[in-house]
Structure 1
């Protein structure tokens, strides 16, 4: 693995662990297990204030270099293979399983909802849906500018974020306006990451203090929730992201194989963790009669992480790659190359 990507894998690992825990905790709460609602909502809002913005940020890190290498069409076609394909496959797989097992889960999912994925993405798959359209929009915008425009573009997307409610006209614009600012922050950060890498210890302390203070003031002092959006949430998410980045750069100086593997496998975990975590909750609650919240949170999070990792090993061993990447006949990139050669 390239040295420059070690800290990125650490950041992905931190982010995906928070994603899995957040969804497990929501599942436990929605199942009616005895949780302290105040504590649950506080932790939930802290996590959701930055964990998905973190992934949009990380997605933007190497975007511009890829754009320069592949060109506009090449980059978009590549994202059809790496984002759209797994989005469709796993939206259908998870959705159909939820329909079949709806008697054992928290929600009553209908087949119509599952098949509406192209205009109304469900569950965790909204991220892939939003990410693809952000890639498309940013591909055409950033192709018109050089690196000197990155700060200006970040500010422009920040303004769209702040005023996204009156400006959004549909699901796609709402997703783009609500998340592209963090993608743009990642694009810009790639230009200044050397500064952070050289000072990651001091910056970890600085942003750690800002993270704790910001989360406390936002949630406790003012009693706000991440859903309020606007400038406060944008500022809180940015500080939180830079805290995770600084800590990841620091931790990356002494690489840990497990964290790097979890980070490198974050896409697989993201695709499958709901099935694994929900399955663990159903078994513990419905079949074993266990209602210990602590046990549910621990087991659900561990299984939510370990299940997809085991599945990934099975996929690699038995060459079931079609579950994650398109077979050659369906590959948009391959079809483009063949068309160009014809």
Structure 2
């Protein structure tokens, strides 16, 4: 597999995975609204299926091209870049969410106060937690790689951290998040460095069928346990052992799915702008759900279809507009302009 092909399927993977994020948030919003009691069991089941997959895979895809830092000078330059690249979109999203939630008032499920907006430097709002945690992962692992360069050692350290996060979770928000999600980030890096991606692609039929079977069996037992919420992204407990299975499923299937003509090219193109879709879909989906409920529409299938279309095509419309309007994408890609 050439370097270019690897980049192609990573872009494809980001595009398809962010679609799953949009769908998962549409269904989760309906479940948490408590307005669809007759469908709550089905909604929770669907949420759990997608939440087993999308964020673990996203962190692995983000870590795929990670490189150890050579020295302190490189580290500070590296973190300056990451702070600008992730910080400006993070602040932009937080402000937008706060404004929209203030407008929504009592119709919003979890409204943010002004003090919470000011506190985004220690506690993120909404879906922006991914950018917040990703920045901390870059900062922490960057320091770690000043001493540890070997990808096998890095994986070992993060496996231990992952075990700690499941067995004895830490109450400090960012520490627990780092222990939990650094493993998936490094897993993506390790899969590239160890060249296991070639094995996964070569034996994709076996990998896909076996991982799907494992997930299906897990979901069966999970459903029989009569759960009232999906597995926590903060404190998953031993149930978190299922999350890595999704990464192997994705890394085996994405290179193959990427080869399909129109399907592959569509998600490759949008995968390059997955950050825009990730940040914008949440407020769009939320506003759409509130609007439909105010209209008296209570058909869960219609909510899912309309919410998904609004979240997806509303976000992709912004991608199109930012490609036509100069500098309009600064809040998503600030480094592109600061380089000039």
Q: TM-score range by the shorter chain?
A: 0.7 to 0.9
Q: TM-score, normalised by structure 2?
A: 0.87
- Correspondence for 1:153: 154
Moved more, 41-50 or 19-28: 41-50
Is structure 2 residue 223 aligned with structure 1 residue 215?
Answer: no
Q: C-alpha displacement at 1:53, in angstroms?
A: 1.3
- Correspondence for 2:231: 226
- Correspondence for 2:63: 60
* Residues 146-185 of structure 1: pairs in structure 2 closer than 5 A: 146=149, 149-164=150-165, 166=168, 168=170, 170-185=172-187
Q: 1:47 aligns with which of 46, 50, 55?
A: 50
Instruction: Give the secondary-structure state (helix, strand or coil) at the position aligned to 1:168.
Output: coil
Partners of 1:59 and 1:205 lie apart in 2 by 25
1:233-288: CA deviations, max 9, x gaps?
Answer: 13x111111112211111122242222223222110111001111122122221x3
- Correspondence for 2:12: 10
Partners of 1:237 and 1:258 lie apart in 2 by 27
Partners of 1:82 and 1:215 lie apart in 2 by 37
Partners of 1:29 and 1:220 lie apart in 2 by 16
Q: C-alpha displacement at 1:297, in angstroms?
A: 0.7
Moved more, 20-29 or 41-50: 41-50
Moved more, 151-160 or 320-329: 320-329
Partners of 2:4 and 2:269 lie apart in 1 by 13
Q: C-alpha displacement at 1:204, in angstroms?
A: 2.2
Q: C-alpha displacement at 1:68, in angstroms?
A: 6.1
- Correspondence for 1:34: 36
Partners of 2:198 and 2:81 lie apart in 1 by 28
Q: Which runs of 5+ in 1 are unaligned?
A: 335-342
Q: C-alpha displacement at 1:222, in angstroms?
A: 5.1
Contact 2:275 2:332 in 1 (8 A): no
Q: Which runs of 5+ in 2 are unaligned?
A: none
Is structure 2 residue 110 aligned with structure 1 residue 104?
Answer: no
Partners of 1:214 and 1:29 lie apart in 2 by 21
Q: TM-score, normalised by structure 1?
A: 0.86
**Stretches (4+) displaced over 6 A:** none
Partners of 2:88 and 2:53 lie apart in 1 by 26
When the two chains are superposed, the root-mean-square deviation of aligned CA atoms in Å is: 2.5
Is structure 2 residue 323 aligned with structure 1 residue 316?
Answer: yes
Seen in structure 2, the aligned counterparts of structure 1 residues 210 and 39 have a Cα distance that, compared at 3 Å, is same
- Correspondence for 1:325: 333
Contact 1:197 1:249 in 2 (8 A): yes
Is structure 2 residue 256 aligned with structure 1 residue 254?
Answer: no
* Residues 135-150 of structure 1: pairs in structure 2 closer than 5 A: 135-146=138-149, 149-150=150-151
Partners of 2:249 and 2:84 lie apart in 1 by 32
Partners of 2:82 and 2:215 lie apart in 1 by 33
Tell me the matched-pair count.
326
Moved more, 316-325 or 115-124: 316-325
Instruction: Give the secondary-structure state (helix, strand or coil) at the position aligned to 1:322.
Output: coil
Q: C-alpha displacement at 1:127, in angstroms?
A: 0.8
- Correspondence for 1:194: 198
